Amino acid sequence: MQVVDILSPLRVAVSRNGADPVRTKQDVLKRLSDLLSRGEPSLDAGAIERMLLRREEQQSTGVGGGVAIPHAAIEELDHIVGAVLLCPDPVGFDAIDGLPVSIFFAVIGPRRAVGEHLKTLARVSRLLRDDHFRKSLVEAPNGPAAFDLIAREEGRPP
Amino acid sequence: MTTGAGRAGADGQVAEGTFQIINERGLHARAATKLVQLAGRFPCEVVIASPEAEGVNAKSVMGVLLLCGAKGTIVTVQARGERAQSCVDAIGELIANKFGEPE
């Protein structure tokens, strides 16, 4: 499994703080929930948002280095779905290193898929561990361009 | 579970321990975060290896997530520097205590 397998160009977005700004944790989770529900008609964005928020209330998923991996188990799902929101203006997210977050990689999946969930977290971490890649990703002009960057990065030999 | 004896090297203390992940959900994000927060309280350098990843920084959540530590995974913790043995012992205890999670 690769990270691109759980994404789609439709579920990758760059936030430009124009008409619909993303400035708070709530804004981020709402936008991610909207992205996650795209192409998944069985999913209700409001329900996803509540589950993501509940998880953040337990402990922030801000893993440091300007990255957060919001995630939740969703009963209706039978597969893992991912979405990416890039915020060139980083958002405070109570991350472990205290730094604001510019790369949000959300993951939802079935409750029972413990092993798959861990593999997904490992793949996302492998993708985002490189400083230069993170910088270029945040500079992507739009969602489809960011999706292409991710696909290209994953295609490189380690 | 084994813990290697601490020994004094040229650059200070070195310690190593091998532990099995025994909690149902393994090294998921919250467990990884607890481990990183614990490692961060020690001044020494700490790296962890699993069959999936070698020598990741125990003070980085993204590093620890790379281990892909499902239940049953054997991890090796190596610390180098001040309080190295205490650090390895504390991480071993956290793993043995299932990261304090109810199951």
CATH number at residue B60: 3.30.1340.10
CB atoms within 10 A of CB B15: 23
What pLDDT, on the 0 to 100 scale, is given for residue A153?
95
Residues from chain B contacting residue A122 (CB–CB below 8 Å): 52-53, 65-68
Cα dihedral angle (A37, A41, A47, A48), rounded to 10 degrees?
A: -30
A19 to chain B nearest CA, in Å?
Answer: 33
Tens-place pLDDT, residues B20-42:
999 999 999 999 999 999 999 99
- CA-based max dimension of chain B: 43
> Does A122 sit within 8 Å of B68, measured CB to CB?
yes
Exposure of B72 in the CB half-sphere (CA atoms within 13 A): 2
What pLDDT, on the 0 to 100 scale, is given for residue B10?
47
Q: What is the pLDDT along chain B (103 residues), one digit of tens a residue?
A: 555 555 555 457 999 999 999 999 999 999 999 999 999 999 999 999 999 999 999 999 999 999 999 999 999 999 999 999 999 999 999 999 999 988 7
Q: Catalytic: B28?
A: yes
CATH number at residue A141: 3.40.930.10
Instruction: Kindly provide the ipTM of the predicted complex, given to two decimals.
Output: 0.92
> Does B37 sit within 8 Å of A63, measured CB to CB?
no
What pLDDT, on the 0 to 100 scale, is given for residue B12?
75
Count of domains forming chain A: 1
User: How far is the first Cα of chain B from the last one, in angstroms, to the nearest whole number?
Assistant: 21
DSSP, residue by residue, A53-112: HHHHHHS--EEETTEE--EEE-TT-SS-EEEEEEEEEEE----TTS--EEEEEEEEE-TT
What pLDDT, on the 0 to 100 scale, is given for residue B50?
97
What pLDDT, on the 0 to 100 scale, is given for residue B60?
97
Given its phi and psi angles, is residue B61 left (phi above 0), alpha (psi -120 to 50 degrees) or beta?
alpha
Which residues does chain A have with pLDDT short of 70? 19, 156-158
Interface test with B, best of A59, A101, A107, A118 (most B CBs within 10 A): A118
Catalytic residue, chosen from B3, B26, B28, B81, is B28
Nearest CA in chain A to B29: A61
Length of chain A: 158
3-state class of A17 per DSSP? Answer: coil
- Domain containing A140 equals 3-155
What pLDDT, on the 0 to 100 scale, is given for residue A66?
98
Tens-place pLDDT, residues A99-126:
999 999 999 999 888 899 999 999 999 9
Q: How far apart are alpha carbons B6 and A51 in whole angstroms?
A: 44
- DSSP conformation class of A41: T
Count of domains forming chain B: 1
Output the pTM of the full model: 0.93
Q: How far apart are alpha carbons B73 and B98 in whole angstroms?
A: 13
Residues of A with CB under 8 A from a CB of B: 58-59, 61, 63-65, 67, 69, 71, 96, 114-115, 117-119, 121-122, 124-126, 128-129
Residues of B with CB under 8 A from a CB of A: 24-30, 33, 36-37, 52-53, 60-63, 65-71
